Amino acid sequence: MTTQPRLLRGFRDYLPETMIAKEAMLREVARTFEAHGFAPLQTPALEHEDVLLGKCGDEGDRLLYRFRDLGDRPVAMRYDLTVPLARVVAQYADLEQPFRRYQIGTVWRAEKPSPGRYREFMQCDVDITGTDAMLADAEILAAGAAVLRNLGVARFVIRVNNRKILNAALARVGVVEEPVVKATLRAVDKLAKVGEAGVRAELGREVGLEAGAIDGVFEFLGRNRPPAAPAVLLDRLAPLLAAQPEGVQGLAELRELLGYVAAMGLGEHVEVDLSIARGLDYYTGTIYETFLRDREDSGSIMSGGRYDGLIGVFRKEPVPAVGISLGIDRLFATLLELGLVRTTRATAAVLVAVFDAASACDAVRLAAALRRAGVPTELYPAPDRLKKQFRYADRKGIALVALAGPDERAAGSVKVKRLETGQETIVPEAELAARIPSL
Amino acid sequence: MTTQPRLLRGFRDYLPETMIAKEAMLREVARTFEAHGFAPLQTPALEHEDVLLGKCGDEGDRLLYRFRDLGDRPVAMRYDLTVPLARVVAQYADLEQPFRRYQIGTVWRAEKPSPGRYREFMQCDVDITGTDAMLADAEILAAGAAVLRNLGVARFVIRVNNRKILNAALARVGVVEEPVVKATLRAVDKLAKVGEAGVRAELGREVGLEAGAIDGVFEFLGRNRPPAAPAVLLDRLAPLLAAQPEGVQGLAELRELLGYVAAMGLGEHVEVDLSIARGLDYYTGTIYETFLRDREDSGSIMSGGRYDGLIGVFRKEPVPAVGISLGIDRLFATLLELGLVRTTRATAAVLVAVFDAASACDAVRLAAALRRAGVPTELYPAPDRLKKQFRYADRKGIALVALAGPDERAAGSVKVKRLETGQETIVPEAELAARIPSL
């Protein structure tokens, strides 16, 4: 009786044809983060349930993979990389602050699967803890923008907003109770997805806002129609929020951040968008979302913000923090669709073919010599028919096949065929590695 | 009320100080595997329970993290990367064979935690499916040995054996029933850990072997005392196994593999060890274990073998396969202990300090310019006291601090301090990036 080989719904495999390209992207992400002074951190996939529960809001809790382990402990698989970071910063008191780390890791959410939405995906996060200075928010933005540019993405926009401004705007229309504020922001967060009518419906029916308050929310969100330059928009908002200290502070923070954005030369990639709200409850200041200009409908590919309260959930003294998270799987899928990723199935530059079983040791020796010389080399792992070996190299996209038959071996040489052109060259074995690049 | 920040028993964090070095190792592993013609594969952490259950033997089943997901489906977290590969090869019929892939990923086993034994760890696997030729077994060994050498490990030994030889040896003493054979091999696998007396006890009490059979097992295992050269040992075994076709074939396989090992120049790193049995049930031919010569007591750091029956559990037509798995966490811990890993806490070459809040934009501009020029740069993310910023760079091990006070800014220059020597240099801002390497 065989077991049916199949995946869980909402999960997927990355076969080599796509994984080679995704792996290259992941390396570039790590390299860029490191070049911005972030160091890697690794935390477990599993945590005590109470470490994760209640940290990402009700929806986060609903989507957690939770179970009891063999010791009957309630455990959960991580929902994001931010809550584990908060746990780490609280747990290791001797961690030098400001602390900046990146983490590339898998997270799990039991969402309803739909095209492009999976229950397991990778996030690439950068965060800075230990300071509430806007310089940190700017560093996060610099690292995020650099990653996209280094991945060959030229046309993107990072939309920024500030929760303090949103809070003040809501206070103006009488929305001040924390649960109602959070529910309102979660509804507003869906604006791009469900449209104004959808958000209005949710604010009325589910959040319970009065019609006047809902109008007030949309009047505020419309403040930037037609879109103005960030500085103009902020000037337009200033009198509106002057009576709310939180709003005044939010505006000052956003203004400072935009100054750093200009200093970094990132002005063309950053916009202020008052409707950016972020669905997660823990944000307290700057919030970011990022869109590909050619595929706005793919949704945000890199989001985050400031969460000055989260680490305080794990220890008495609060520690301010800010970060951003790149959804590498969604970005990768979109770049594939846009033709901005080149897929390949081979990692080797040359396939050493095996002439026959009797001469297999010679093929092994040849492959070993090429590898010692630094040439990425694959040895065909069986004395199959040569036709099959060449077809294998062809299908896999390996550029060169090296083969030594009796004549070549007698002469101490190797025949190399470039599959694309069919060109064959006989090369002395001792010179092979050095001549590979020009064959 | 705060949540206590803590880890699950048997789990751990890698803080930057160790993770920077581990990340560098992981990159080298991936690079080496790719240079040997292996391409990356990624599979989910979670699988349908029946995909994993019963594939790694009773002990494997006992250690599986299993639960029911929100859809009440029985699911399990992967125990290794081999069974998911078998699932993949069976599931995608159009996968070009021979198929060679590497996978670096986390696995979970609910083992009793002990020093150095964790419930979550990473494996780095290379496998070739689709051929039973010993050339494949040699390719796996080549990739494994190259990884260790490229990680700077010079003194290691890969001990090889062949399950067919063990089966034949057991058949000679009357042990032929499959469950008893497997239980016997699992007991023999513990030889290094529990010693001969421990294995004898298990073979008698738990496996139920007669005293004569147990003596026969140890008489066979002792065939290589005193240790002989591999070829001598194989000649010594040949008459013993001549009556068992399986033993004859196992000897021929091992002899062929050793021929390739010699051709690759790996002879000094490979030994035949008849007591290598491997605990997992699915092995059918070659088996490998790898030890650091300076730390044999750390146990095998890279193990594997041929498993020609496993993929057939998922589809009618069997597909032969062979692979090896590097336990990167155990290797990393051992190299740390041996002082063969250099840890560091910084990824940037230079810290741009912030003179004061008023000039923060200049610091941002300077950091952006250095990064554009390719210099790994960290911007201190707050206008803190300079003393604090320098102490931060010092503790983190960042070599250089760049700072522009009013005097330097007026002159269009930057002061750079090398922390180790205290040497300060004033450099024109436009020349800074180019001069960093020599400061």
Binary contact (A8, B67; C-beta < 8 A)? no
Binary contact (A90, B378; C-beta < 8 A)? no
Domains and CATH numbers, chain A: 16-337 (3.30.930.10), 350-434 (3.40.50.800)
CA dihedral B178, B183, B184, B189 (to 10 degrees): 130
Burial of B6 (0-12, 13-18, 19+ CB in 10 A): middle
CB B270 within 8 Å of CB B258: yes
Residue type, B333: A
The conformation of residue A108, written as its DSSP 8-state character, comes to: E
A9: which chain B residues are within 8 Å (Cβ-Cβ)? 71
Residue type, B259: G
CB B439 within 8 Å of CB B418: yes
What's the rounded Cα separation, in Å, for the pair A255 and A283? 18
Average pLDDT in chain A: 95
Beta pairing partners, A401: A351, A417
3-state secondary structure at position B390: helix
- What number of CA atoms fall less than 13 Å from residue B105's CA on the CB side? 28
Task: Write phi, then psi, for B90 (nearest 5 degrees).
Answer: -75, -35
Write out the two tokens for B398: 């960042």
pLDDT at A407 over 80: yes
Write out the two tokens for A329: 């799987």
Write out the two tokens for B122: 């990473």
B379: which chain A residues are within 8 Å (Cβ-Cβ)? 37, 135, 138-139, 142
A136 and B CB contact within 8 Å: yes
Mean pLDDT of A240-252: 95
Binary contact (B146, A73; C-beta < 8 A)? no
Mean pLDDT of A49-65: 91
Q: Which of B1, B2, B8 to mutate to test the interface with A (most CBs of A within 10 A)?
A: B8
Q: Which of B9, B15, B50 to mutate to test the interface with A (most CBs of A within 10 A)?
A: B15
Binary contact (B19, A7; C-beta < 8 A)? no
CB A77 within 8 Å of CB A108: yes
pLDDT tens, N- to C-terminus, chain B (439 residues) = 799 999 999 999 999 999 999 999 999 999 999 999 999 999 999 999 999 999 888 888 999 999 999 999 999 999 999 999 999 999 998 999 999 999 999 999 999 988 888 999 999 999 999 999 999 999 999 999 999 999 999 999 999 999 999 999 999 999 999 889 989 998 998 888 899 999 999 999 999 999 999 999 999 888 887 788 888 899 999 999 999 999 999 999 999 999 999 999 999 999 999 989 887 788 999 999 999 999 998 899 999 999 999 999 999 999 999 999 999 999 999 999 999 898 888 999 999 999 999 999 999 999 999 999 999 999 999 999 999 999 999 999 999 999 999 999 999 999 999 999 999 999 999 999 999 999 9
Cross-sheet strand order for the sheet of B424-428: B377-379, B350-352, B400-403, B413-418, B424-428
B395 and A CB contact within 8 Å: yes
B94 and A CB contact within 8 Å: no
CA of B3 to nearest chain A CA: how many angstroms apart?
5
The conformation of residue B348, written as its DSSP 8-state character, comes to: -
Write out the two tokens for B369: 């310019």
CB B310 within 8 Å of CB B320: no
Q: Which of B4, B92, B361 sits opposite A263 (nearest CB)?
A: B361
Binary contact (B16, A40; C-beta < 8 A)? yes
What's the rounded Cα separation, in Å, for the pair A160 and A304? 10
A373 and B CB contact within 8 Å: no
CA dihedral B83, B86, B88, B91 (to 10 degrees): -120
Query: Chains A and B: how many Cβ contacts under 8 Å?
Result: 321
CB A51 within 8 Å of CB B6: yes
What's the rounded Cα separation, in Å, for the pair A60 and A53? 8
Mean pLDDT of A319-338: 96
Helices assigned H by DSSP within B11-162: 16-35, 49-52, 57-63, 82-91, 134-150
Q: How far is CA A260 from CA A16, A129, A308, in A?
A: 41, 19, 20
B90 and A CB contact within 8 Å: yes
pTM over 0.90, yes/no:
yes
Check residue B381 and give its pLDDT.
Answer: 98
Beta pairing partners, B39: B101
CB B310 within 8 Å of CB B55: yes
B368: which chain A residues are within 8 Å (Cβ-Cβ)? 142, 263-265
The confidence band for A106, taking pLDDT boundaries of 50, 70 and 90, is very high
Burial of A239 (0-12, 13-18, 19+ CB in 10 A): exposed
What's the rounded Cα separation, in Å, for the pair B240 and B221? 13
Lookup result for tokens 């970060």: A323
Q: Is the dihedral of CA B32, B36, B37, B43 positive or negative?
A: negative
CA dihedral B68, B72, B78, B84 (to 10 degrees): 160
What's the rounded Cα separation, in Å, for the pair A417 and A399? 8
CA of A5 to nearest chain B CA: how many angstroms apart?
5
What's the rounded Cα separation, in Å, for the pair A128 and A143? 11
CB B39 within 8 Å of CB B4: no
What's the rounded Cα separation, in Å, for the pair A61 and A67? 13
What's the rounded Cα separation, in Å, for the pair A138 and B274? 61
Write out the two tokens for B188: 């023999």
| C-alpha closest to that of A416 among A392, A387, A385, A390 | A390
ipTM, two decimals: 0.95
Binary contact (A364, B15; C-beta < 8 A)? no
Binary contact (B51, A22; C-beta < 8 A)? no
Nearest 5 degrees, angle CA B108-CA B112-CA B118? 45
Residue type, B253: E
CB atoms within 10 A of CB A408: 19
Task: Write phi, then psi, for B58 (nearest 5 degrees).
Answer: -60, -40
CB B333 within 8 Å of CB B122: no
What's the rounded Cα separation, in Å, for the pair B155 and B93? 41
Burial of B25 (0-12, 13-18, 19+ CB in 10 A): buried
CB B148 within 8 Å of CB B124: no
Beta pairing partners, A256: none
Binary contact (A39, B19; C-beta < 8 A)? yes
Check residue B113 and give its pLDDT.
Answer: 86
CB A206 within 8 Å of CB A187: yes
B74: which chain A residues are within 8 Å (Cβ-Cβ)? none
Burial of A421 (0-12, 13-18, 19+ CB in 10 A): exposed
pLDDT, one tens digit per residue, over A417-427 is 999 999 999 99
Check residue A245 and give its pLDDT.
Answer: 95
Q: Give the DSSP letter string of B122-161.
A: EEEEEEEES---HHHHHHHHHHHHHHHHHTT--SEEEEEE
pLDDT, one tens digit per residue, over A157-206 is 999 999 999 999 999 999 999 889 989 998 998 888 899 999 999 999 99
Lookup result for tokens 């790996």: B266
CB atoms within 10 A of CB B213: 20
- C-alpha B384 chain-centroid distance: 42
| C-alpha closest to that of A187 among A171, A207, A209 | A207
Binary contact (A40, B34; C-beta < 8 A)? no
| C-alpha closest to that of A196 among A175, A177, A215 | A215
Q: Which of B64, B364, B380 to mutate to test the interface with A (most CBs of A within 10 A)?
A: B364
A31 and B CB contact within 8 Å: no
B434 and A CB contact within 8 Å: no
Q: Which of A13, A39, A68 sits opposite B16 (nearest CB)?
A: A39
Q: Which residue in chain B has the smallest CA separation from A1?
A: B313
Q: Which of B44, B378, B382 sits opposite A133 (nearest CB)?
A: B382
The confidence band for A403, taking pLDDT boundaries of 50, 70 and 90, is very high
The region that residue B377 occupies, defined by phi over 0 for left and psi between -120 and 50 for alpha, beta otherwise, is: beta
The confidence band for A113, taking pLDDT boundaries of 50, 70 and 90, is confident
Q: CB neighbours of B422 closer than 8 A, spacing ≥ 6?
A: none
CA of A232 to nearest chain B CA: how many angstroms apart?
20
Task: Write phi, then psi, for A109 (nearest 5 degrees).
Answer: -140, 125
Mean pLDDT of A365-391: 97
Q: How far is CA B123 from CA B8, B29, B79, B103, B137, in A?
A: 20, 11, 10, 8, 19
What's the rounded Cα separation, in Å, for the pair B22 and B25? 5
